[in-house]
Amino acid sequence: MTLRNIFLSLLFVSSYAWGQVRYIDYPSPFHPTIGNSGMVVSQNQASSNIGVEILNMGGNAIDAAVAVGFSLAITLPRAGNLGGGGFMLVYLNDEKKTIAVDFRSAAPKNLSKKDFLYLKNNYDQRRYGYKASGVPGTVAGLLQTHDRYGKLPLKKILQPVIRQAQNGIVVSYDLNQAIGSANQISLNSESKNIYYKNGSPVEEHFLMKRPDLAWTFSEIARNGEEAFYTGSIAKKMIQAMQENSGYITAKDLQEYEPRFAEPIKTTYRNHQIFAHPPPAGGAAVLLEGLNILENFSTDEIGPNSARFLHLFAEALQRGHMDRSRFMGDPQFYDVPINKIISKERANSLAKTINLEEATPPNTLNPDSLFQEGENTTHYSIIDQNGNVVSNTYTLGYSFGSGVTIPGTGILLDNQMNNFAYQYGNPEVIDRSASIGNRLEPGKRPMSTMTPVIIFDENNELKLITGSPGGALIPAAVLRVITGIIDFNLNLGEATMLPRIHKDWPYKNLRLEKGFSQDTIQILESYGHELEESKTMGSTQSILISTKGKEGFADLRRPNAGVAIQID
């Protein structure tokens, strides 16, 4: 071979290798899905696809949110629901307006002192079975929001969901395992008939058709909210309640109304953070945590550094302290929310943080507020016109109370377990004794659900996010927000940062796997009592960046997915 040929061969190999390196050298191992039009991110890919189908019909984000909310009752029955409730934020781009929708489940109104004592003294009865369920708000919340802000007829929106219920879904490994871990399902004959075959949870790959839910969806498509709260579905629900000594009455269903209000908000490093007002206690933890963190510079530390994680944990602990004592239904208790999320409160609490020493919970006094001068699901949607829905809703436990109303496919929540039954007990200081969350007829229990919408320093939409996870929700959402704002990570990187959780008045700092041993040793040297945790939450997020709309479905739970409109 001539010298010239050798040179050309080397040049070709070198160019080929360089081309290959450039092709595979992505800036991050976590890749958001990027689009320029509508986008849906939910905990199930099939439900996300239905949301985009609605957008492709000409629907807006609110129309898609209704379809996704109903679809998740099929694809994610342990959390997606018609028999539960939640909190939703809606952003209307033309009006530059954000609305909070409270469709939280409510305690039945006919509860007596005898009923209260029964629930207080019978832990299992307020977790499982007919007595465990509050009045469901999901259908009223979604449909009344659609009536106000949707575009397409309800019948058109629900057609793909009805078809999905009729055709069925293929049971995933996750669904099979979830059914097997929810013992309350086996205690209810209707639920057992649906989710068990031959005495065992339906097997992976089994085609599970849901004619019961298809009937329910069809009734709602024809008669709207009336079908669920006074019509054919309500009649089945009340009959089942009466036959099984449940508390929900026809009057409870008839009188249930979602609440439309202004969100609560704060600023964080020149960004506006919008969240849901009480009884959404998780929102208060998030906003108070951000206000506390704003007192500290993060410019020269990393998101996984011991110093930042320590500050993060200390801020969380103080936010949970105020949530644990002073959060509840504002129609029953004067929640001091403006004081809790004020910059003054945050500044005061920030001064109590030692940069190298964990704060013992018993040294924090929740009453200083007045001395100063895990199964849920979330989805995020944006349409091509910039309208947004950030929605978190729940059954409470995985599969809720375990009760399915015969003939409807509707799983009921177990929200009666979420009230503070130890209120008045001087020996109890945690949230089971909360003055704001004691059980009262008609009241809505405090919740950590935290749907969020964020705008940048130019008041342009930046981030839509939220998570399931019970008390872990504020930490999961806070981790994503700080990853993006403080550390300029992409959405995938911010989502996949290993998470921590610090509650109050508990000592342990819970950590996901993924932190270095050096970091763990430093946190221990600060006095943190560490506990290894399973994964925390499952954020479903959309980020507006210079690349377009970035969607990322948290990898912590399987089957989640991003669906986009193709221009």
Distance set, CA 387 to CA 55, 477, 490 (Å): 11, 21, 22
Q: 398-422 as b/e, with b when 16 or more CB fall inside 10 Å?
A: bbbbbbbbbbbbbbbbbbbbbbbbb
Which of 33, 75, 376, 448 is an active site residue?
Answer: 376
3-state SS of 318-333 is HHHHHHHHHCCCCCCC
Q: How far apart are CA 138 and CA 149, in angstroms?
A: 16
Is 310 in a helix, a strand, or coil? helix
CB-based contacts of 59, cutoff 8 Å, min separation 6: 67, 150, 151, 152, 157, 383
Please give the full DSSP string across 231-276, using - where no structure is assigned: SHHHHHHHHHHHHTT-S--HHHHHH---EEEPPEEEEETTEEEEEP
Strands 375-382 and 33-35 turn out to be unpaired
Q: Is 394 a catalytic residue?
A: no
In this structure, how many other beta carbons lie within 10 angstroms of the beta carbon of residue 505? 16
Distance set, CA 82 to CA 31, 99, 238, 431, 558 (Å): 33, 22, 15, 28, 22
Sign of CA dihedral 484, 489, 493, 498: negative
Nearest to 88, CA basis, from 389, 529, 297, 410: 389
Q: How far apart are CA 317 and CA 303, in angstroms?
A: 18
Active site residues: 376
